[in-house]
Structure 1
Amino acid sequence: MRKIVLLTLSLIASSSFAATDLQQWTLSVPIDTTGEGRSDNILENQLADGFQISPFFEKSAEGDLIFLAPISGPKTSENTKYTRSELREMLRRGNTKIRTKGVTANNWVFSTAPEADQQAAGGIDGVLEADLSVNHVTTTGEKNQVGRVIIGQIHANDDEPIRLYYRKLPHHNKGSIYFAHEPLSGDEQWYEMIGGKSSSVAEPEDGIELNERFSYRIEVVGNQLSTTIIRNGKPDINKTIDMSKSGYDQGGQYMYFKAGVYNQNSTGLAKDYVKATFYRIDVSHERYQ
């Protein structure tokens, strides 16, 4: 197994965002100030300069990052029906001479990618760690959508090697954790870690309540994708899957992490929303400087 060199760019200092370095991210927020019909995208320099917009993206008095996405609002593209308040990893750190898309110094690749892609990319393999609490999920709408929110992702060109979900049903006190893996061809694969994804699932005894603090770790080494849920006083929960047949080892596939809230309900009341507080976000890649 290939070793990941942890050249970590931490977004926290002493469990707080008081010394936040947001230069490595852009932010999508569900507002449209340009009138173009799409949600605004806040670039690295503006985000690092202290951008906030209530209630969609704020810093608490302690410096933690608070994300909120209502059901109704501008979307990032015509390909999605859901709103988001979500960070997008940008290895270029504000250097606009580097293209945001493609196998460039702005993005990373798996260590199973062709050698030419590994040389051209900004990093190889990767780890995303986040410490957070989910504060609110939607309680209205169709039963197959209510209560769902994506809290972390790896995004590729057009597909997602992982989308990590938190879901709490309206009649439950505790929520579930599960994730989707999307190969380049074929059906999505679903993996349940705590509780289940079903709209009729029983309340998980070991589930996560709203405002309960927990952590997740998403790690890729070659074709191995590992996801871990960490909670104080409880055993870690880990799931590792083999991506050797998923197609991401072919040339031209590039990756970036995402973190925040991506609302997965488009059917409830317009003002219903998802909200989460992130206390810590760390990313690392081999060869990233």
Structure 2
Amino acid sequence: MTKQPITALATCVLLSIFTTLNSCKKETKPAETAKEVTTEKKVYASDVIPFFDDWKLILGDGSNAGIANNFENKDFFYTVNENNTNWVVFKAPNGGDTHGTSNNTRTELAQIKKWYPKTANDKLTATLKVMNVSATGDARVAATHAVVVGQIHSADAFENEPLKIFYKKFPGHTKGSVFWHYEINTAGDDNSKRWDYSSAVWGNDFSVVGTEENTYPEEPKDGIALGEEFSYEVVVKDGMMHLTFTSEGHETKTFTKNLIASEYATKADIPEQTKKLFVPIGQDGVERKEAYTGEGCFFKLGAYNQTNGKSPEVNKNWCSGAETHNGDIQKQYADGNYAEVWFKTASISVSDAAVSNEEYFSKND
């Protein structure tokens, strides 16, 4: 067979095929065919503050979520990252289902062990900032526009509270107040006579209220703004409660309170603040001489909203008459009728003498 010469047309075809194949090889880059896929790790509250084995979490719908490791609830309890810092968010509406016998909603940790003040050596610390308090409520009601961010609670008898740490800010004010309460452990069988005594930390105490429903007192000059960090340390040892409050740019404040010997055991001991706030509404009791001796107590931490929708005619100190949208949580969140607190750090130290607090939860869940 005679070999045929390669024509010019065939030569062009072969060159075209070679060029196309060579071009395709150049466009196939290993980096593009083997891209590395990364997934951002989810951050839980227990990653930010690793102490959740010591607590059960009560949510703003009244439910007990239990030990909240690797847990979140987008309505009440989750984390945020602000300027590369992680925070744990506690959020509670003005109105909704509540835990136990309280009138108020809370998203709050409750310690799973209780300890006895006389033999205690227990400590709670936290660094936080309050991001929101209720936009509505009767300004004449002392608890309006306030949230409790830390507590000591009794697990026994009347379940009264030897410590509540408050933040309160009136609408239109830049700065709010931080103060703490001691609630008497009422003598006798009638706990409706109990009352709180309030001590100012920065700004005013609980007793400073508005003259009318929507008329507010003067803004505190040494107060704390929304979004401004502050810290507290609570130590209970050998019957004494020691409190330390710190915040950059503010004077450090310290307090000491005896939890096992009352200073309010007779009518003559009732302070003027109580006569102004509580006595006019029939809360004029006295305290057991031994105060909280013999009662198991435990720490709480979070956002215990003090503003609610109940009529001030029921109780002018605790019933705010605020907007609740009939318990619709999202509507309350939309128009500012909620409490929100962010915690950056916290710690708990539990003494060897502490015992199970399960009975408290079984009574109140």
TM-score with structure 1 length normalisation? 0.76
Q: Using a 3 Å threshold, how does the CA distance of structure 1 residues 40 and 187 change in structure 2: closer, same or farther?
A: closer
Q: How many residues align?
A: 236
Q: Secondary structure at the match of 1:60?
A: strand
Q: Secondary structure at the match of 2:221?
A: coil
Percent pairwise identity: 27
- 1:189 is matched with which residue: 197, 215, 220? 197
Q: CA deviation at 1:69?
A: 0.4
For residues 261 and 139 of structure 1, the distance between their equivalents in structure 2, rounded to whole angstroms, comes to 16
For residues 257 and 51 of structure 2, the distance between their equivalents in structure 1, rounded to whole angstroms, comes to 32
Partner of 1:161: 162
Q: Secondary structure at the match of 2:350?
A: strand
For residues 19 and 191 of structure 1, the distance between their equivalents in structure 2, rounded to whole angstroms, comes to 29
Is residue 71 from structure 1 mapped to residue 94 from structure 2 by the alignment? yes
Q: Using a 3 Å threshold, how does the CA distance of structure 1 residues 109 and 153 change in structure 2: closer, same or farther?
A: same
Q: Using a 3 Å threshold, how does the CA distance of structure 1 residues 73 and 274 change in structure 2: closer, same or farther?
A: same
Gaps of 5+ in 1: 1-15, 32-38, 91-105, 113-117, 119-123
- 1:259 is matched with which residue: 301, 304, 315? 301
Is residue 147 from structure 1 mapped to residue 145 from structure 2 by the alignment? yes
Q: Using a 3 Å threshold, how does the CA distance of structure 1 residues 210 and 249 change in structure 2: closer, same or farther?
A: closer
Residue 91 of structure 2 aligns with an amino acid whose one-letter code is: L
Residue 41 of structure 1 aligns with an amino acid whose one-letter code is: N
Q: Using a 3 Å threshold, how does the CA distance of structure 1 residues 248 and 208 change in structure 2: closer, same or farther?
A: same
Residue 189 of structure 1 aligns with an amino acid whose one-letter code is: Y
CA contact (8 A) 1:66 1:276 kept: yes
TM-score with structure 2 length normalisation? 0.61
Structure richer in strand, relative to its length? 1
Q: CA deviation at 1:17?
A: 4.4
Residue 97 of structure 2 aligns with an amino acid whose one-letter code is: P
**1:172-210, CA deviations, whole angstroms, 9 ceiling, x for partnerless residues?**
110111111122126432212222221234322111000
For residues 19 and 175 of structure 1, the distance between their equivalents in structure 2, rounded to whole angstroms, comes to 26
Gaps of 5+ in 2: 1-45, 187-193, 211-216, 263-287, 309-320, 325-331, 355-365
For residues 249 and 147 of structure 1, the distance between their equivalents in structure 2, rounded to whole angstroms, comes to 29
Root-mean-square deviation (CA, aligned residues, Å) is 2.0
Q: CA deviation at 1:288?
A: 6.4
Residue 214 of structure 1 aligns with an amino acid whose one-letter code is: F
Partner of 1:286: 351
Partner of 1:96: none
Q: CA deviation at 1:249?
A: 5.1
Q: Secondary structure at the match of 1:64?
A: strand
Partner of 2:181: 180
User: In the TM superposition, what are the counterparts of 1:1-289 in structure 2 within 5 Å?
Assistant: 17-18=47-48, 20-31=50-61, 39-44=62-67, 47-48=68-69, 50-61=70-81, 62-77=85-100, 79-90=101-112, 106-110=113-117, 112=118, 124-143=120-139, 144=141, 145-156=143-154, 157=156, 158-185=159-186, 187-196=195-204, 197=206, 198-200=208-210, 201-243=217-259, 244-245=261-262, 247-248=290-291, 250-251=293-294, 253-266=295-308, 267-270=321-324, 271=332, 272-287=337-352
- Which stretch shifts more, 161-170 or 177-186? 177-186
For residues 292 and 145 of structure 2, the distance between their equivalents in structure 1, rounded to whole angstroms, comes to 34
